[in-house]
Amino acid sequence: MNPVSTTPRGRAFVRTLVCRALGHVGPDARGFALDRWGSAAAEVVTKSTVTALLAQHDPEAQEFFAPVLERSLLGRLSGLRRVPFNVRMLSMQGGTRGYWTSPGAPRPISKPAMAGAWLQPSNVGALIVATSEALREGGPVAEAGLHRDLERALTDAIDGAFLSGAGGAGQPPSIAHGAVTITATGDPAADLAALVDAFQGDLSAAYFVCDPTTATRLALVRDAGGQYPFADCGPRGGTLLGIPLLTSRGSPIDSNGGQVMLIDPSAIAFDSGALRIDPAPEATLMMSDTPTSPVELVSMFQTDSIAWRAGLDANWEVQLPGGVVCLTGVQY
């Protein structure tokens, strides 16, 4: 009987990152891993340190990446159409219709409006920084923290690009690019009705998406009778007008309010490739969300820190006009 592992899913991959970051690779990693995690973990970690940290090559990398994709909107929006990169496809710009016919009568033909398209891979990524001391001395607590931070950073990066990325500089435009946009008026019922009216997708398969704060504010809205009409939603999602609501930290929100999107997943084609994570123990980082602006440079070597650069090939395209609509400036 094979022993049951109690190690959290994806933790072996995080241990591989720790080994590499501290300079333990190949045979040298075995002694370090034996002392720190025991013989069973040492075999797995030692093998992983001598292979590329690519999800399609390393079972431990696959185990780590699977829950990242599951937690992102690419994994939670059921019905997204996955298509391979660099393969020409037909994107539906209009629908087909069915007809009743009498026996022997010719059958009408509705000609769908089609447009050729293809997806090319772009790279979405995140940077994570930790101190070498925490990795050396922190033990399971530091590993758990690194594991959580890596998952959250990658999920936020994917969702942020998917929902609000401006496009350009190697980044695909978000699904909001070119979508019908409605500015909130302060009347949530009227605003949601306008959003539904503008929507051209399949409502029976649709999702609402917003950030956790906006979802919470919607749940707190009272109508004229003092009732809470949107009480079925909250920071962890729920339903809104009977339609599933997903929340994501990647959904944009600022001092002008949040954004609520109504999405038909079948209107969106996407693909994602392999995850790759590279350690950079001697890098100098521009510590800013906008690295083209004047910023403070921080040396990883000088601060005894380790940086990891995580990247994922991905792209998407809304192929049905009206399949995504946006309500902006939501601050009820």
Position 170 scores a pLDDT of: 67
CA 233 to chain centre: 21
First to last CA, the chain: 57
Residue 330 near residue 260 (C-beta atoms within 8 A): yes
Q: What is the pLDDT of residue 325?
A: 98
pLDDT value at residue 209 = 98
Dist. CA 287–CA 13, nearest whole Å: 26
C-alpha radius of gyration, the chain, whole number: 24
pLDDT value at position 101? Answer: 66
Q: What is each CA distance from 58 to 2, 43, 44, 64, 266, in whole angstroms? A: 21, 14, 10, 10, 31
What is the model's pLDDT at position 296? 67
Tokens of 126: 């995140």
Asked if pLDDT for residue 141 goes beyond 80, the answer is: yes
The whole-number pLDDT of residue 291 equals 55
Give the mean model confidence (pLDDT) for residues 268-274.
88
Confidence label for 48 from pLDDT (cuts 50, 70 and 90): low
pLDDT of residue 87: 80
Report the pLDDT value the prediction gives residue 1, as an integer from 0 to 100: 46
What pLDDT sits at residue 91?
59
Which of the four pLDDT bands, split at 50, 70 and 90, describes residue 121?
confident
Q: How confident is the model at residue 142 (pLDDT cuts 50, 70, 90)?
A: confident
Q: Select the more confidently predicted residue: 147 or 304.
A: 147
27-37 vs 11-21: helix axis angle to the nearest 10? 120
Examine the pLDDT at 50 and tell me if it is beyond 70.
Answer: no
Q: Region 43-66: what's the mean pLDDT? A: 65
76's enclosing H/E stretch is helix 73-76
Enumerate the β-bridge partners of residue 124.
312
Average pLDDT over the chain, rounded to an integer: 82
Residue scoring higher pLDDT (31 or 144) = 144
pTM over 0.85: no
Characterize the bridge pairing of strands 243-247 and 207-210. Answer: parallel
* Among 4-13, 163-172, 219-228, the least confident range: 4-13
